[in-house]
């Protein structure tokens, strides 16, 4: 892609991309997140390429490999748009029929549809599956629409509009103000208000400052950050750049655990594409703002998710924590003011800037705004990634979205927040999931 040197050029490019895309054109999307790799999306992709050629639909039908759709246990997941016909547990052997019956003939293949384990009812469309129906996928939503290796796809879903607004319409103070007004709290566990943290780093004395993404994600069973990073690395980068502008940093680091090779691969491609397009580097979009970013692979120590250990590890030291204060905002990476946030926190930033604080604060509870992503795993019928408004009850997550306990067995307890969290028994199932309610119940967000 040629270098984009102004917001007007970016808009022109976006319009060109959209003009070349017909929303009514058939498009086959195949989830290619880590879980769908494990269940065999590669042979399905190979079979699709072969069959599309054989059955003469190349050019008439688009094919896109996307990030995680969320319903990982049912993968590989294939969705045929514009209808949104959703096929689960797709195998290479199914592909010929998918092309001939669904793509060419408009017929639904019943055996590949979701069947509700409780009612036996089938769902044809992705949005009709109870697992998705009761979610609000503001952060995860773009995952199923874009190829994470395509900057063009990200631009087509309004990517980089928040950055343009930030660089050309808002002062750093106004950006911090918007994040404060949105009452966004850090998604890494403790729920510290992000705007207040940004303000500390912005006001800390010093020329050299850093921004850092925490993608260490060591909690067993958790893979929210991995899926956002794999499926939409551009959103994390855009959020990070907005934060860098706000606090006055020109360098960023993304700390990703070594066990996330697809996240590292997709992120690296996203960085290369953004650099080539002039969306990273010097004088971004002609704004005068410079920003570079490096990816650092962590070796997979749980403690390196803790911010001071992570920063020590980034410096090449042993990943051990330091006493706080001083906090990273005043004395972080190489002793310089540093703002570190979790992947999901950064991925919320474009939404906050694009839609505004009023939109964001209308979602959630008094003390916890927006949505939260959870990995719903264990002895539950529907396992996968779930994004719900803050304040949704544990009961709704486990029973409405998760479909309850397999085999109609008695529910015993739910564990939230990883090793630092807690186990909540049946009488706490009506607990609303937000930072304060979970802490009150003796557990933690996560």
Report the interface residues with ligand FES, using CB under 6 A: 31, 33-36, 68-72, 75, 77
Least distance to ligand FMN, CB of residue 413, Å: 22
Cα distance between residue 202 and residue 434, in whole Å: 28
Cα distance between residue 289 and residue 56, in whole Å: 48
Least distance to ligand FMN, CB of residue 352, Å: 13
User: Which own/partner pairs from 377-383 qualify as long-range (CB within 8 Å, at least 24 positions apart)?
Assistant: 377/221, 378/221, 378/415, 379/405, 379/406, 379/409, 380/404, 380/405, 380/406, 381/117, 381/118, 381/405, 381/406, 382/71, 382/73, 382/130, 382/131, 383/72, 383/73
Cα distance between residue 212 and residue 75, in whole Å: 32
Cβ-based nearer residue to ligand FMN, 76 or 252: 252
User: Where along the sequence are the contacts to ligand FMN (CB under 6 A)?
Assistant: 186-190, 192, 194, 214, 216-218, 303, 305-307, 340-342, 345
Least distance to ligand FMN, CB of residue 185, Å: 7
Least distance to ligand FMN, CB of residue 306, Å: 4
Q: Going by C-beta distance under 8 Å and a sequence separation of 6 or more, which residues neighbour residue 410?
A: none
**Taking CB within 5 to 8 Å according to partner kind, which of ligand FES, ligand FMN, none is near residue 399?**
none
Q: Going by C-beta distance under 8 Å and a sequence separation of 6 or more, which residues neighbour residue 59?
A: none
Cβ-based nearer residue to ligand FES, 128 or 276: 128
Least distance to ligand FMN, CB of residue 88, Å: 30
**Taking CB within 5 to 8 Å according to partner kind, which of ligand FES, ligand FMN, none is near residue 77?**
ligand FES
**Taking CB within 5 to 8 Å according to partner kind, which of ligand FES, ligand FMN, none is near residue 75?**
ligand FES
Cβ-based nearer residue to ligand FMN, 69 or 257: 257
**Taking CB within 5 to 8 Å according to partner kind, which of ligand FMN, ligand FES, none is near residue 211?**
none
Cβ-based nearer residue to ligand FMN, 108 or 303: 303
Least distance to ligand FES, CB of residue 160, Å: 25
Let me know: does 219 contact 180? Beta carbons within 8 Å. no
Least distance to ligand FMN, CB of residue 409, Å: 31
CB atoms within 10 A of CB 169: 11
Cβ-based nearer residue to ligand FMN, 41 or 293: 293
* DSSP class per residue in 171-217: -HHHHHHHHHHTT-B-TTTT--BHHHHHHHHHHSS-S--EEEEEE--
**Taking CB within 5 to 8 Å according to partner kind, which of ligand FMN, ligand FES, none is near residue 342?**
ligand FMN
**Taking CB within 5 to 8 Å according to partner kind, which of ligand FES, ligand FMN, none is near residue 422?**
none
Question: Closest Cα to residue 96, out of 57, 147, 42, 144?
Answer: 57
């Amino acid at each position: 892609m040629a270098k984009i040197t102004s917001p007007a050029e970016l808009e022109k490019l976006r319009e060109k991309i959209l003009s070349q895309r017909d929303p009514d054109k058939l498009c086959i999307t195949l989830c290619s997140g880590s879980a769908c790799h494990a269940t065999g999306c590669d042979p399905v992709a190979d079979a699709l390429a072969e069959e599309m050629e054989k059955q003469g639909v190349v050019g008439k039908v688009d094919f896109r490999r996307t990030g995680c759709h969320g319903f990982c246990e049912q993968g590989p997941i294939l969705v045929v748009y514009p209808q949104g016909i959703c096929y689960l547990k797709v195998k290479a052997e199914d592909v010929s029929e998918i092309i001939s019956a669904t793509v060419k003939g408009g017929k639904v293949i019943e055996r590949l549809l979701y069947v509700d384990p409780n009612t036996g009812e089938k769902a044809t469309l992705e949005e009709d599956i109870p697992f998705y129906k009761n979610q609000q996928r503001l952060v995860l939503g773009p995952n199923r629409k874009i190829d994470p290796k395509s900057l063009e796809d990200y631009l087509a879903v309004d990517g980089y509009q928040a950055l343009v607004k930030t660089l050309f319409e808002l002062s750093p103070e106004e950006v911090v103000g918007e994040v404060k007004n949105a009452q966004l709290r850090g998604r890494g566990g403790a729920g510290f208000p992000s705007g207040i943290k940004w303000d500390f780093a912005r006001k800390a004395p010093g020329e050299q400052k850093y921004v850092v993404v925490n993608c260490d994600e060591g909690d067993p069973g958790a893979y929210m950050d991995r899926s956002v990073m794999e499926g939409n690395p551009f959103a994390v980068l855009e959020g990070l750049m907005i934060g860098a502008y706000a606090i006055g940093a020109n360098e960023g680091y993304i700390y990703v655990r070594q066990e996330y090779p697809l996240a590292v691969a997709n992120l690296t491609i996203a960085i290369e594409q953004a650099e080539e397009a002039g969306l990273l580097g010097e004088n971004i979009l002609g704004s005068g703002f410079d920003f570079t970013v490096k990816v650092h692979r962590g070796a997979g120590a749980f403690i390196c998710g803790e911010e001071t250990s992570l920063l020590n590890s980034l410096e090449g030291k042993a990943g051990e924590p330091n006493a706080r204060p001083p906090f990273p905002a005043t004395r972080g990476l190489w002793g310089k003011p540093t703002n570190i946030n979790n992947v999901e926190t950064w991925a919320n930033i474009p939404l906050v800037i694009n839609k505004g604080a009023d939109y964001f604060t209308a979602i959630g509870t008094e003390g916890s705004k927006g949505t939260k992503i959870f990995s719903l795993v264990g002895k539950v019928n529907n396992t996968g990634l779930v994004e719900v408004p803050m304040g949704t009850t544990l009961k709704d997550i486990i029973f409405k979205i998760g479909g309850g306990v397999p085999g109609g067995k008695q529910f015993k307890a739910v564990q939230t927040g990883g090793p630092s969290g807690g186990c909540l028994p049946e009488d706490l199932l009506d607990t609303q999931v937000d930072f304060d309610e979970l802490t009150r119940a003796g557990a933690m967000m996560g």
